[in-house]
Amino acid sequence: MDGAILYVYKYCDPFGFEVPARKAYYKSINVPLLHLEDVYSAGTIGQLRTRIQAFLEMIVDADPQFKSPISAFLKRVRGIRRF
């Protein structure tokens, strides 16, 4: 696994309690993790897109020999303004 995204709804306590354990698990197996907490609103789509794109770029840039579908995905997404 090249990376993981942990997306949690803000104020959703049942899933919020699991976040520290999940973060610790991914850290223990050396997998980069992006933790996103959102209010589930269309107004935050731009911010989420930017954070996810930066996370994917970080994973790809960490290893210049990295070959995966993420590289192809990033090439397509970099020029897109809207999803």
Residues 6+ apart with CB under 8 A from 58: 32
The reported pLDDT for the residue numbered 24 is 94
Is 70 exceeded by the pLDDT of residue 70? no
The reported pLDDT for the residue numbered 76 is 52
The reported pLDDT for the residue numbered 71 is 57
Average pLDDT for residues 50-79, to the nearest whole number?
69
Classify residue 54 by its DSSP letter.
Answer: H
Rounded Cα distance between 33 and 26, Å, is 7
Instruction: Find residue 34's DSSP bridge partners.
Output: 5
Average pLDDT for residues 5-32, to the nearest whole number?
85
Quote the percentage of the chain above a pLDDT of 70.
73
**The pTM is what?**
0.67
The reported pLDDT for the residue numbered 83 is 35
